[in-house]
Structure 1
Amino acid sequence: MHDWNGDLIDVQDFGKPGLVMQLRLAASEFDSKRKLSAGVIVLIVVAGVVFLAISVWLLWCLKRKLKASVLPTAASVSLIRKSEMPFSDMSKSKEYSSELSGPADLVIDGSPVNGPDLPLFNFKSVAEATNNFSEENKLGQGGFGHVYKGKLPGGEEIAVKRLSRISGQGLEEFKNEIILIAKLQHRNLVRLLGCCIQGEEKMLLYEYMPNKSLDFFLFDPAKQALLDWRKRFNIIEGIARGLLYLHRDSRLRIIHRDLKASNILLDEEMNPKISDFGMARIFGGNQNELNTNRVVGTYGYMSPEYAMEGLFSVKSDVYSFGVLLLEIVSGRRNTSFRLTDHVSLVAYAWEVWHGDKAMEAVDPSIRDSCCENEVLKCIQVGMLCVQDSAVQRPTMSSVVLMLESNNPTLPLPRQPTYTSMRTSMDTLEIDLEGQEIVSSNDVTVTMIDGR
């Protein structure tokens, strides 16, 4: 403690100018120490910025790693949510007026496939839309499971394909359809509205087709007359344009591999839409033909090289289109000739066409009202599409050109020698050198022979 000596001085009235006043200050008040304090502050700020940058980078890496990972399910299908609670609160979809599952990314085999064009629905909303998957809402079933009709809260009708939990074939088809259909858009392809994956439940949501499938009308004697020639020709052209898009014009080059009447859906105006891409395959830009040990599809629509050797290409779809075209013209299934001398619709169509009696092959319900020139043109195009050799078949671009031309000069087809399977007692079941043959409508595939 210091003692003060002398009188106190008022610094505001210091006295005469020129006098010097000396003050004692603490060391902490000097400028050198202030500069050191400012430097420390700068270091602290820089360190904070660096720490924040590192934290942001680590969070970004973690998010990227989560997106690339796949949850351990049998189908290699994973649902990666940005929130911790799966399928909890959902946002409203302006397009579908439905509850969606919120911000989620669907990853299949390591590749994200969903986005704004493929929303994810939760199980509760799909169950409510289908009246809890009631029998009254069931539209049909297949090897993959059941299809139900549903209605979204906004009033839009949908078709829900619900995968059977015990269907291995359906599981592969489910993965394939999401990967392919989510990337395709064409007026003659069925539109995928979204999907639902929750636990063991896996579902695809499609636009609803009020007129069901083509076979519903084509092979029913009571409904055949509803398909007049103009409607049938429009259906043929629409299918051809859809296939052309798959083969040439889409972002992916796709072989459908299961084109048939039951896979052609009809909207309210009877416009055709190709559906069921579960067996489709993607072709690379330089690939013209692929080989498989697992032959899938529906017998009677398979091309010879595919059924017997497992070789498939765009020309395999052309063959199936030819069979389908002949079915549309005749109103008869290709398999309805199995127990006759003609064996198949292809053999019958060749016989009447080659004998200048092609009009006999036309469905009697439209024979008198159809345009004969268009019918004969379609039969000849159909015969060109079912040639035994893939090289001799036209491409779908040529088919579309021939169908849309008023007076085309068509090549002459050769007699097809490949015949459909027989179901008589003398047929022998064979394994085709270990190839697995699967028919999507549960029909046993038996011996393939040449005539």
Structure 2
Amino acid sequence: MVVKKVVSWRSFVPNCYKTEVPPKKSSKKVVAKETSSQRISPSDLSNPSTTLSEDLSISLAGSNLHVFTLEELKVITQSFSQSNFLGEGGFGPVHKGFIDDKLRPGLAAQPVAVKLLDLDGTQGHREWLTEVIFLGQLRHPHLVKLIGYCCEDAHRLLVYEYMPRGSLENQLFRRYSMSLPWSSRMKIALGAAKGLAFLHGAEKPVIYRDFKASNILLDSDCTPKLSDFGLAKDGPEGDETHVSTRVMGTQGYAAPEYVMTGHLTAASDVYSFGVVLLELLTGRRSVDKNRPHREQNLVEWARPKLNEPRKLSRIMDPRLEGQYSEHGARKAAALAFECLSHRAKQRPKMSEVVKTLEPLKDFEDVPLAFVYTAPSESDNSIKDVKDGDAQKDLKKNNNHHNFKHHQLRSPTESDNSIKDVKDGDAENNHNHDKHDQIRSPRSPHYSSENYAATES
């Protein structure tokens, strides 16, 4: 559930550039070095004597953000053509582009994603500004890199590094795509947890507030990076226990105490992480109106089953086809159970979540069937010798059978009972031999799943 703004962002801030003062070659502008290491907040941009563009340039000095013109971004996206369209969210449409040194000397040639603020969308100027402020100052391997921005007249755009595999939501729930393997799911969970742990452990803590599958972007090798910081907030400082704010976020991911009270803490992010971890385990969306009534809310349906191994196997994603580490699944399920605790103080810290997930990334997927090894030439020669010996034994047994043929008699009752016992022993031995071999995992008893995308 995303709470829409009632007041337009136009009432908060004037145009980025003053009409009487033309911009000075903003196409070549890079924010200069900063003298202070103290991170600023969106509320700090309140200097009435400067325009927003100038205020951003001063405040984000040292961030190495590039200030692009609208014309430059039109060039790299071919005027935001449909052929370069990547998708659209609450912020607005996203298009792919390509930057080379002809456009911006000193900037490495690379593909980029350009996000354009939709003035009629659910997010507005404040969310855009918040994203520039946070991502302009925060750098981490599991946070998406903001390359630059455009603030020209009424236009608000953001330029990010391009993430070729799109969002976790698309990879996990798209109907006609290969299922993410177990190892990739644990890699994504661990990387996303490290991103949140970095935010919570910063000198000036940050609460992400909108952690969900669609905000986790994946690069070519499934390394996850958190994106969309429009709803992020500075965490409580000093003796403060929480931040009081409007309830904003996405239905199914928001922590219950935050929805009820508006009190935001780092534990709110931990709950949201638990929901995403549950999605990775089950392959189900946090909220899916296409399912039976009792199964529409993922947490309510799955959480009671997380600590029971027999029930856990029944809720695991059927698209995994049993190819997952049973021990790893139990550990991940137990962690999700803790993160989804109704009591915020009982949830683990994200640093503890990282420690729990770290060893799970090394658990290999369980094989579905036996591996067939083609016999080598030496194996064939051995086989020929054995076949020759077997033929000799067979001939010997046939001669013995011919001799005994004349002594055949109808079996007595005692003979039948002995036969029954031997047959039973043979069957038990056969089952025992099968048990000692590597077993292919049991497939969960599931009906076919509906993976149609729904708006959360």
Q: Report if TM-score (shorter chain) is over 0.5.
A: yes
Matched AA of 1:229: W
1 CA distance for matches of 2:288 and 2:118? 30
AA paired with 1:280?
A
Q: Deviations over 1:351-381 (max 9, x none)?
A: 3334432122211222422111111111110
**Do the aligned partners of residues 245 and 162 (structure 1) sit closer, same or farther apart at CA in structure 2, a change above 3 Å counting?**
same
State percent identity of aligned pairs: 36
For 1:355 and 1:85, how far apart are their aligned partners in 2?
67
CA spacing shift, 1:75–1:196, aligned 2, 3 Å: farther
2:334 maps to 380
Cα distance in 2 for residues equivalent to 1:186 and 1:346: 30
Structure label with greater radius of gyration: 1
Q: Does 2:117 align with 1:163?
A: yes
2:339 counterpart of 1:392: no
Question: In the superposition, relative to structure 1, how do residues 255 and 134 fare at CA in structure 2: closer, same or farther (>3 Å)?
Answer: same
Aligned amino acid, residue 85 of structure 2? K
SS of residue matched to 1:295: coil
Give the 3 Å change call, closer, same or farther, for CA 111–283 of structure 1 in structure 2.
Answer: farther
Q: Which amino acid aligns with 2:212?
A: K
Please tell me whether residue 329 in structure 1 is matched to residue 266 in structure 2.
no
Task: Report the equivalent of 1:85.
Answer: 22
Decide whether aligned partners of structure 1 residues 108 and 304 sit closer, same or farther in structure 2, where only a CA change above 3 A counts: farther
Equivalent residues, number: 325
| TM-score using structure 2 length | 0.66
- Per the alignment, residue 360 of structure 1 pairs with 314
Superposed CA RMSD: 2.8
Q: Which of 69, 75, 83 lines up with 1:128 in the alignment?
A: 75
Q: Is the 8 A contact 1:113 1:182 kept in 2?
A: yes
Where do residues 12-411 of structure 1 align in structure 2 (5 Å cutoff)? 74-76=11-13, 79=16, 85-86=22-23, 88=25, 90-91=27-28, 106-107=53-54, 112-154=59-101, 155-167=109-121, 169-225=123-179, 227-248=180-201, 250-286=202-238, 287-292=240-245, 294-336=246-288, 339-356=292-309, 357-405=311-359
CA deviation digits over 1:180-239, x for unaligned, max 9? 1111101010000001111111111000111110011101233242x1011111000000
- Structure (1/2) with the larger strand percentage: 1
SS at match of 1:334: coil
After TM superposition, give the deviation of residue 341 of structure 1 in Å.
Answer: 2.2
Identify unmatched segments of 5+ residues in structure 2: 1-8, 31-50, 102-108, 362-453
Conserved 8 A contact 2:114-2:159: yes
Shifted more, 314-323 versus 303-312: the winner is 303-312
* Change beyond 3 A, Cα 1:151–1:115: same
Give CA deviations for 1:20-76 in whole Å, capped at 9, x if unaligned.
xxxxxxxxxxxxxxxxxxxxxxxxxxxxxxxxxxxxxxxxxxxxxxxxxxxx96443
TM-score (normalizing by structure 1): 0.66
1:315 Cα deviation from its structure 2 partner? 0.2
Which residue of structure 1 lines up, in the alignment, with residue 446 of structure 2? none
CA 1:343/1:145 → structure 2, altered by over 3 Å: closer, same or farther?
closer
Q: d(CA) in 2 for partners of 1:245 and 1:110?
A: 25
Larger RCO: Structure 1 or Structure 2 (Cα < 8 Å, ≥ 6 residues apart)? 2
Deviations 1:146-186 (A, max 9, x none): 11111113441111111123447321110110111111101
The offset of 1:328, in angstroms, is 0.8
Which residue type is aligned with residue 320 of structure 1? S
Letter in 2 for 1:297: G
The structure whose residues are more often helix, as a share, is 2
Q: Distance between the aligned counterparts of 2:24 and 2:92, measured in 1?
A: 23
Q: Structure 1: which 5+ residue stretches go unaligned? A: 1-71, 94-103, 408-440, 444-451
Q: Quote the offset at 1:130 in angstroms.
A: 0.6
Give the direction of change, closer, same or farther, for the CA distance of 1:343–1:92 in structure 2 (3 Å limit): closer
CA offsets 1:232-259 (integer angstroms, 9 cap, x no match): 11000000000000000x3431111111
Could you tell me whether the CA contact under 8 Å between 2:216 and 2:227 is conserved in 1? yes
C-alpha separation in 1, matches of 2:260 and 2:63: 42
